[in-house]
Amino acid sequence: MESFFSRYKNALVLMLVVLTQVVLLAMQVRRPAPNMQDGHNIRLWRYWVASVVTPPERLAHGIGLRVRGVWSNYINLRHLREQNQSLQDENTRLRLEQAGLVEDARQGQRLREMLDFRGEYIDTTLPAQVIGTSGTDQAHVIYIDKGSKDGIRPQMAVITPDGVIGKVKNVFPNTAQVLLISDQTSGAGVMLQTTRIRGVMKGNVSGQPQMINISPDERIQPGEVVLTSGGDQVYPRGLPVGVVEKVVQDPDTSFVSVVVKPNANLSKLEEVLVITGISDKMPFGEEKDMMQSEVDAYAEKQRAADILSEKLPSLRDANTPESTLAGDDSGESEEGATSGGGDPARPMRPPQPLHPDRYTPGAAPAAASLTPGEGPAVKYPSAGTPETEAPKTTKTPGSAGSVSVASDNGAAPKSRFPSKPATASAPIAGASAAGGVSSGSGATTAARPTGGSATAAGSGVPLVRPASRPAGSGLDLPLQPADSQPRRAIVPLAGGSGSTSTTTAKVPRPAVVGGVSGTASSTTGSTAGQAGGSSATPPASHKIAISSDSGGILTPAGMGSIGTVARPKPVLPAGTTAAGTASTGASGGAGTNASAMKPASPKPATSGTPSSGTPTPRPATAKPQTGPSQQPVTPPRPTPQGGY
Amino acid sequence: MPMLVASSRREVEAQPYPLFLYLIVPLVAIGLQSFVTLHFARFAILDLPLLVTIYFGITGRNPIAATFLGTVIGLAQDALTHRPIGVSGIAKAVIGYLAASLGVRIDTDNHLTRLLLGFAFTVLHAAMFLLITQRLLGLEVGWSWLHELIRGVVNSVVGVGLFALLDLARDSE
C-alpha cells in the first residue's frame, strides 16, 4: 500500500487537486440566481487577488496619466487655440440644439405629470478610471479605481458619453469589477428606436453584443439605433447602446439574432461614469443648463432679427397717406404698420389702396348685416355707378301670371348682392333673377332678382318695375345678346288653380350656370320657367316667356349692358320663387363658374299658386328641370368676358 | 534524441530559485497580463501566467510542486474574472504536472525544446479550457483551430524569450 502511494503520489496529488477544483466549480455553479453574489470564501479569494493586483495597476495608470498630462498641458500645446475655438463653437451649437429640443422636453414632462408617469433621470454619476481587465479574451470585464468606499454598489449601470458599456458586477473597498455588455453572461434590456422592438442583449462567442430570440418576422434593418428599454431595472431607459450591424439566423432555434455594434469602443476604455442615482425629476444642473440654453437661443434669435431688420428695407409705401394705415395696436408706429415694425417675424399688412372700390378688402359689409335680396349699402365714390337701389319690379300688363322684372339700367355696375326691391314680394322671373345671379361666383352680376320682385299675375300681387326700365322689359339681365333681338322662350306657367299661362321671356345669353335658386344654367334661357322651380322641382307645366324690347351688347355680369339693353320681362310662373327665377336667365356672363355662383335671394311666392315657400338653395351644379311642355330655347352664345 | 535527455543526475535535480521569485513572478505575470490587455486588446492572445507555469514546471522538475503552483496561478487568474473560480486552476494544474514530468526526462534548457513544449502546452491548455467551460459550466466557447495554432506559436515564441530572462534569476552554482 505504501509503495502504491509512493509510486503514484504525483498522479494522486494531481487527481486530488483537480477533483477539489471540480467540486469548487460545482458549488459555485449551483446558485439559485445567476446574479446572486458569490459565496463568502469565493468572494474572499477574489478580494485577496484584487487587493494584490489592482494597486500596482492603479499606480501604473496614475503615472501614465501624469506623464500624459505634463506632455499635453505643458509641452504639446500645438493647435490648442484652434481646439479651444472649435470646442466653443461646438458648445454654442449644442446649446442652440438643446434649446430647440427643450420645448419638446418640457411638453414631455408636462404630459408625464398629467399621466402620472414616472420619469427616469440620471441624477448622480461618479467618474472612474479604468485600470485593468481580466486578462483573458473569454471574460469581458474591466476594473475601475472606485469601490464601495466611493459609493459603488453592485448592479449599477456604467456608461460613457457614447453609450452604455456595462454594469457593476463585484465591488471591493477600493475597486470594482464591471461586466461589459459583450460578455456571454451579461444581459441588458434593449429596444430598437424606430420599431420599438424589445429584446435581451448579451455577448456572443466572438465578444459581440447581440439581441437574441428575435422573431424572424420582424423587419430589422442595419443601422437602426438600439436603446436601453429600462426593463431590466439596471439601465435607465433611453440610453444609447449601439446600432444594428447585421441579422443572423440562430442555428439552434428558429429565431434570429441581431448583432449590435456598440457605440462605445469596449476595447479602448479609459474613463467611465457610474450611475449612482436615478430620480423622476430633472436634476438641477440639467434644468439649469436647459434654461441657459433657452436664454442663449433667445438672445441669438434677437440678434438675428436685429441684423435682418437692419438689412431688409421697410415695406411701407411712402405715398400711402397715413390715414389709410390701419391703426391696429396702439403705440405702433406707422412705419411698422405695414412692415411689421421692422421685425420680420411680425405679420405685415397689405398696403392700403389709393382708390378703394368694392373689391378692396374690408370694403364689403359683413355678411351678418346683409339681408338676402338687398343690395349693398356701401357707396364707392370712385367707382362707377354702383347699383345701390334695388331694382324695381313692374307688372307686365296683360299677362296674367306673368311677371316682369325690371331690367337693369345699363351701365351701372351690378352689385354682388341682389338689392331688395321696394315692393318685392313675389318671386322673380327666372330670367330676370338669373340676370342677377347667373354670373355665379365672382360674377359681378348682382344676384338681383331683377325686376326684383315680381309676382305672378295670378296672385294679384302687383309687380314692381324699376322706373328706369322701359316698359316691357322685365328682365334685369347682366348679359344681353349682341344682336339685340329679343328671344322669346315660352315657359308655361302653372296657376294656382291649375291653369297655366305662358309668358315669353327673353332668353339671355349665358353662360353659366347652375342651378336654381340663385344660380343660372347655361340653358336657363329655356329653363327660366323651370329655374323658377327653385328649390323644388319646378312644375313641368310652368312656362316663362321673357321678352325684351331692345337688344344690346353683352356685358359682363353686373355691369349692365352697353347701349340699349334688352330687358325682357320676367314672367314669373305661379308659385315660382324668386330663387327659381333668379336661377334662370343664365346670363351670368361667359365663363362664369356655375359652382361658385351665389344663390339669388329667395323671394316669397306671390302668385296664387302655392309656393314652395322660402326656397332652399340648390347646389350650383343642379340643373333645373325642363318641363315637357316647354319649348326648347336655343341657349345664347356666351360672350367672352374678361372675368367671371 | 540524446539532446533532449538529461545527461547527468545533477541536471535531473530541481533547479533552485529564491523563494520570493515563486511569489513575485506569478503576480507580476498576472498583473501585466491584466494591465497590458487594457491598452492592447490583441495582447489577450498571450498567456503569461501559463508561460510562468510551464517554466517553473520544466525547470523545477517537481510534479507536485508544479501542480500546486499551477493551481494557485490558475485560481488567481480566475479570480480576476467574473466566472466561477477553478477553470484555469484545473487546466494549469494539469499543465504544471505534465511540464514537470517532462522536465525530468528531457533536457529543457534547449531553446528548441522549450519552443516545442511551449506550443504543445498552449494548445493543450486551450483544449482543456474548452472542455471544462462547455461540459462543466455549460457556456459556449468559440473554438477555431487556426486561432489556437496561432496562439500556440505566439506563446511559444514569447516563452523562449521569457524563459531566457528568467534563467538570469536562477541561482547559479
Q: Which tens digit of pLDDT belongs to each residue from A17-50?
A: 999 999 988 888 866 555 566 777 788 888 888 9
Distances, alpha carbon B33 to alpha carbons A84, B11, B39, B160, in Å:
38, 32, 11, 17
Neighbours of A601 (CB within 10 A): 33
Chain B closest CA to A233's CA: distance in Å? 21
Is B44 close to A136, i.e. CB distance below 8 A?
yes
Selecting from B38, B71, B142 the residue whose C-beta is nearest the C-beta of A17 gives B71
User: Residues A422, A391: contact at Cβ < 8 Å?
Assistant: no
> d(Cα A194, Cα B72) in Å, to the nearest integer?
51
Spell out which residues of chain A touch residue B92, defining contact as CB-CB under 8 Å: none
Could B90 and A56 be called an inter-chain contact, meaning their C-beta atoms sit closer than 8 Å?
A: no
> With an 8 Å Cβ cutoff, are B79 and A17 in contact?
no
With a cut of 50, say whether residue A141 has pLDDT above it.
Answer: yes
To the nearest whole Å, the CA of A109 is away from the closest chain B CA by 40
Please tell me the predicted confidence (pLDDT) of residue A179.
Answer: 94
Distance CA A538, CA A524 (A): 13
pLDDT at position A102: 78
Give the torsion through C-alpha atoms of A433, A439, A444, A446, to 10 deg. 10
CA A155 → CA A38, A239, A475, distances in Å?
Answer: 14, 16, 94
Query: Which residue carries 353686373 as its cell?
Result: A558
Q: Which residues on A lie below 8 Å from B98 (Cβ)?
A: none
Q: What is the pLDDT of residue A426?
A: 43
What is the mean pLDDT of each successive set of 10 residues along chain B, which is 173 residues long? 44 65 92 91 92 93 92 94 91 95 88 94 94 87 88 95 88 51
Indicate the pLDDT class of residue A501, thresholds 50, 70 and 90: very low
Q: What is the pLDDT of residue A311?
A: 81
Q: B139, A184: Cβ pair inside 8 Å?
A: yes
What pLDDT is recorded for position A27?
A: 85
Question: Mean pLDDT over residues A154-181, rounded?
Answer: 93
pLDDT reported for residue A491: 47
- Higher-confidence residue of A635 and A188: namely A188
Q: What DSSP string describes A444-488?
A: -S----SS-----GGGTPPPB--TTSPTT-----S---TT----E
User: Hey, are the CB atoms on B79 and A177 less than 8 Å from each other?
Assistant: no
Position A250 pLDDT exceeds 90: no
Interface mutation target, options A30, A136, A182, A257, chain B, most CBs of B under 10 Å: A136
- Distance in angstroms (rounded) separating the CA atoms of residues B22 and B56: 8
Least CB–CB distance from B41: residue in A9, A49, A267:
A267
Write out chain B residues lying below 8 Å of A271, CB-based.
none
Task: Decide: A400 and A425 in contact? Cβ < 8 Å.
Answer: no
**DSSP summary character for residue A594:** G
Min distance A49 CA to chain B CA atoms (Å): 6
Three-state DSSP class for A500? Answer: strand
Query: Per-residue pLDDT tens for A424-449?
Result: 444 444 444 444 444 444 444 443 44
Residue B113 grid cell: 525544446
Question: Which residues on B lie below 8 Å from A132 (Cβ)?
Answer: 31, 34-35, 38, 80
Across the interface, do B82 and A185 touch by the CB < 8 Å criterion?
yes
**Chain A residue closest in CA terms to B80:** A134
- Asked whether the predicted pLDDT for residue A253 surpasses 80, the reply is yes
Closest B-chain CA to A206? B142
Q: What is the average pLDDT across A566-580?
A: 49
Probe site for chain A from B35, B42, B137, B140 (most A CB atoms < 10 A): B35
Residues of chain B contacting A142 with CB distance shorter than 8 Å: 38
Residues of chain A contacting B144 with CB distance shorter than 8 Å:
none
Cβ of B31 and A131 within 8 Å? Answer: no
pLDDT-derived band at A264, boundaries 50, 70, 90: very high
Q: What's the pLDDT at A369?
A: 84
Give the up-direction half-sphere exposure of residue B173: CA atoms within 13 A in the CB hemisphere: 7
CA A639/CA A508 separation, integer angstroms = 11
User: Hey, what's the cell of A23?
Assistant: 467540486
The CA distance from A112 to A115, in Å, is 5
Does A57 contact B101 at a Cβ distance shorter than 8 Å? Answer: no
Which pLDDT does position A98 carry in this prediction? 81
Query: Which position has the higher pLDDT, A31 or A305?
Result: A305
Least confident of A70-84, A347-361, A575-589, B20-34: A575-589
A163: left (phi over 0), alpha (psi -120 to 50) or beta: left
* Residue from A390, A401, A442, A428 nearest A557 by CA: A442
**Nearest by Cα to A621 from A516, A530, A531:** A516
Whole-number CA gyration radius for chain A: 46
Pairing of strands A488-494, A500-506: antiparallel
Is there a contact between A21 and B71 if contact means CB atoms under 8 Å apart?
A: yes
| Gap between the Cα atoms of A365 and B68, Å rounded | 107
Helix (H, G, I), strand (E, B) or coil at A421: coil
Q: Select the residue of B34, B93, B138 nearest A14 (Cβ to Cβ).
A: B93
Mean pLDDT of A623-634: 47
Return the C-alpha cell found at B170.
536562477
CA distance A504 to A526: 10
**What number is the average pLDDT over the span A519-527?**
40
Residue contact A185–B97, C-beta within 8 A:
no
More confident residue, B61 or A115: B61
* Residue A632 one-letter amino acid: P
Instruction: Please give, rounded to a whole number of angstroms, the shortest distance from the CA of A196 to a CA of chain B.
Output: 29
Nearest to A457 by CA among A488, A423, A503, A420: A503
Judge whether residue A130 has pLDDT over 70: yes
Q: Distance of CA A385 to CAs A165, A409, B93, Å?
A: 84, 10, 118
Nearest chain B Cα to A178, which residue?
B82
Q: Given A10, A26, A268, which is nearest B63 (Cβ)? A: A10
Q: DSSP string covering A369-417, please?
A: G--TTPPP----TTSS----SPPPPBPPTT-TT--B-----TTSPPPSS
Summarize chain A as % helix, strand, coil (round to 5).
25, 15, 60
Most A CBs within 10 A among B36, B73, B81, hence the mutation to make, goes to B81
Question: Nearest CA to CA, how far is B45 from chain A (Å)?
Answer: 7
The CA distance from A523 to A489, in Å, is: 11
The reported pLDDT for the residue numbered B19 is 82
User: Is the pLDDT at A567 greater than 80, yes or no?
Assistant: no
The answer to whether residues A588 and A450 touch, using CB atoms and an 8 Å cutoff, is no
Question: For the ranges A71-80, A224-233, A586-595, B10-19, which has the lowest average pLDDT?
Answer: A586-595
What was the pLDDT predicted at B150?
94
Taking the model in full, what pTM does it have? 0.56
Q: Which of A17, A135, A137 sits opposite B34 (nearest CB)?
A: A135
**What's the distance, CA A270 to chain centroid?**
48
Residue A321's pLDDT is 60
pLDDT at position B30: 93
The rounded distance, in Å, linking the Cα atoms of B61 and B57 is 6
Is B37 in Cβ contact with A133 (below 8 Å)?
A: yes
Cα A171 to Cα A128: distance, rounded to the nearest angstrom: 13
Between chain A and chain B, how many beta carbons pairs sit less than 8 Å apart?
A: 140
Compute the nearest-CA separation of A15 from chain B (Å).
9
DSSP readout, chain B? Answer: -GGGB--SHHHHSPPP--HHHHHHHHHHHHHHHHHHHHH-GGGGG--HHHHHHHHHHHHH--HHHHHHHHHHHHHHHHHTSSSPTTHHHHHHHHHHHHHHHHHHHB---SHHHHHHHHHHHHHHHHHHHHHHIIIII-------HHHHHHHHHHHHHHHHHHHHHHHTTSPP-
Q: Which residue does chain A place closest to B132, by CA atoms? A: A22
A59 versus A407: which is more confidently predicted? Answer: A59
The dihedral region occupied by A280, where left means phi > 0, alpha psi between -120 and 50, and beta the remainder, is alpha
Cα distance between residue A459 and residue B62, in whole Å = 138
Which of B31, B80, B87 comes nearest A56 by C-beta?
A: B31
pLDDT at residue A553 tops 60: no
Distance from CA of B95 to the nearest CA of A (A): 10
Indicate if the pLDDT at residue A541 is higher than 50: no
> Mind spelling out the 3-state secondary structure of A166-217?
EEEEEECCCCEEEEECCCCCCCEEEEECCCCCEEEEEECCCCCEEEEEECCC
Shortest distance between the Cα of A28 and any Cα of chain B, in A, equals 6
Q: Is it the case that residue A531 has pLDDT exceeding 90?
A: no
Interface test with B, best of A29, A130, A133 (most B CBs within 10 A): A133
Give me the interface pTM, i.e. the ipTM. 0.87
Q: How far is A29 from chain B (nearest CA, A)?
A: 7
